[in-house]
A and B are shown apart, each in its own frame.
Chain A
Amino acid sequence: MSLETTYPAGGVFVRSGKLVFWLVMLAALAAFPILTTSAYSLSTLTEILIFGIFAMSLDLLLGYTGLISFGHAAFFGVGAYTAGLVAIKIAPNMLLTMAAGIVVCAIAAFVIGFFSIRAAGVFFLMLTLAFSQMVYAIAHQWTWLTGGSNGLAGIPRPNLSVPSLPIEFYDPTKFYYITLGIFVISLLLLKRIVSSPFGHVLLGIRENEGRMKAVGYNTRNFKLAAFVIAGAFGGLSGVLYSYFNGFISPSELYWTMSGQVMVMVIIGGAGTLVGPVLGAGTILLLQNIVSSNTERWPTIMGMVFIFFVLLARNGITGLLDKVWHGARSQVWKH
């Protein structure tokens, strides 16, 4: 039982019949624009996929490595600003803006990680929080570049310019498919990473860092590598967000954003890759519903979060697992 609840693969929900499940999910996501005519739900789903990548990237640290980063918005924001600036000042080329966003974020993650990983536990989370607030302050004060508190407006949607064939993504359906494609690639890459020997070292660090050191792993390098990978994927989601939104403000870098993605990971289920995506979907849908009725969204999100921390620590995937187990044991009994 204890193995069931602590093992990160998410139990039966992911393991049994998982190929079928994934293919059905993928088919449903691919068919979505055909099934709906509502531009609003298509844009919401696009946003969920973008935040899904963001939440999965944090979970590589939080759920798989046991590193509690409270400053992950830094990478989302840096990715978004970099892509936005490149698109405005150089060219709105998708490959160029995306490469720039990812590389700059990886470098930023290396620097922040280099300092933060020297400290363990609570010191680590304080440092990541402090560094991300510094990045926020820079975006806020560096007005000539970032537009300061007014934000960076007028970011063009990217084109995929093979010189003779510039494909633009102004069409929401095309943009949705591009996002879905990048989401699936990210998911597969992250899946590869967490199930590789490297990923198992990360799990070992999460469970018992001292033992991993004793076995001879230089855990600091592994943690830094995980931090850089997470930063790069966080940056990728920021890049997509800059295309999606066409506008970035310093609030994308603020602690509330780091908090929101943390909430997504925890309520979805840390230590799984589906969990954070489900969490992102839950939070964004809930936010849409709540925000159209009341301004008290932060209170409600905080309370939902506290509820999951107190009573359902394994998140939505944990709950689904329990339901699945319950149903199966009923079937077996009769």
Chain B
Amino acid sequence: MSDTLGFYGIQFLNGMAYSLLLFLLAMGLSLIFGMMDVMNLAHGSLYMIGAYVGLFFLGWTGQFWIAVVLVPIAVGIIGIIMEASLLRPLYRRGHLDQVLLTFGLSFVFMDMVKWIWGADIRSLPAPPGLAKSAIIFGRSFPEYRLFVIVIGLILALALWAFLERTRLGAVIRAGVADKEMVSGLGINITLVFTLVFGLGAALAGLSGIIAGPVLGLYPGMDFETLIITLIVVVVGGLGTLKGSFWGAILIGQAQTFGKVLVPDFALLIVFVIMAIVLLARPSGLFGKEAA
């Protein structure tokens, strides 16, 4: 049945668009954690800020593409300020204090966004060139979601190239493996921490604005996103690009197909996958043993 194929094909594409957004989020969270052992519980907040700041830039410049460039810069700067002013003094204490700090910040960010933009559901319009629908598998599919898939794949590739093929990428990978050694080699690890945190924040902000036209802007989007990103990271394993990628694909597709096929149990499916993975491999599919 070609129509069945069309149905599953379209859902697969929806799932890919969602998965790649999750990948950008998970990659930032996972890099930050791998690097500095900080689980950033304000990561979902940075995503939310990306979306709302995107709304602001869009209103200001009227250009979606300018907003897409400005948002990661703005959110990256917020991340750098966060790291340098609040997290850095805590590196000598346990990681718990840093986690608590990011948790406190997520309250503040949640309330600030509500204060500035209100509690109503908002939407980001898709850019004019991509507002139409294409015909795929004999069905119409929004062009913007195709763009999300393409940009997601390009960014995944770029991140891979950055981490595997550049000097700074090598330093970051080395830092994930053993930071004392890296700083022993004369590399300014503090600066690298700040850069990685900024990069993670920028990725979260970027996925926020890119997701805006698809998923919308609403209060509560911060923690909803944080939870699903945490699940991706738990399933895929921390600290590796491969883990974030396949974890995101698995959870993104499961969530998308779950929502269409068994709407009442979509969330449950994701949790069942997480439980199974945890029982079989406690450190995730691609995580290092003994996390």
Contacts and interface: CB of A to CB of B under 8 A. Distances in A.
Contacts of A256: 107
A3 to B, nearest CB: 18
Interface string A131-144: 10110010001000
A303 to B, nearest CB: 6
A266 B100 CA distance: 9
Contacts of A115: 275, 278-279
Contacts of A121: 95, 291
A133 B111 contact: no
Size class of the A contact interface (CB-based, 8 Å): 35 or more
B101 A119 contact: no
A133 to B, nearest CB: 5
Nearest to B33: A122
A130 B230 contact: yes
Interface in B32-51: 33, 37, 39, 41
Contact of B227 (A68, A129, A141): A129
B167 interface: no
Interface stretch (B55-63, B178-186, B263-271): B263-271
B86 interface: yes
B100 A309 contact: yes
Contact of A120 (B37, B105, B231, B291): B291
Contacts of B233: 126
B33 A134 contact: no
23 contacts: A115-B278, A119-B278, A119-B291, A122-B37, A123-B234, A125-B39, A126-B234, A127-B274, A129-B227, A130-B274, A133-B227, A255-B223, A259-B107, A262-B100, A296-B115, A297-B111, A299-B115, A302-B104, A302-B111, A305-B103, A306-B104, A309-B90, A310-B86
Given A115-B275, A118-B278, A298-B111, 18 more contacts: A70-B41, A70-B103, A115-B279, A119-B291, A122-B33, A122-B37, A123-B234, A123-B283, A129-B227, A137-B267, A259-B106, A295-B115, A296-B111, A301-B107, A302-B106, A302-B111, A305-B103, A310-B101
Interface of A: 68, 70, 115, 118-123, 125-127, 129-131, 133-134, 137, 141, 255-256, 259, 262-263, 266, 295-299, 301-303, 305-306, 309-310, 313
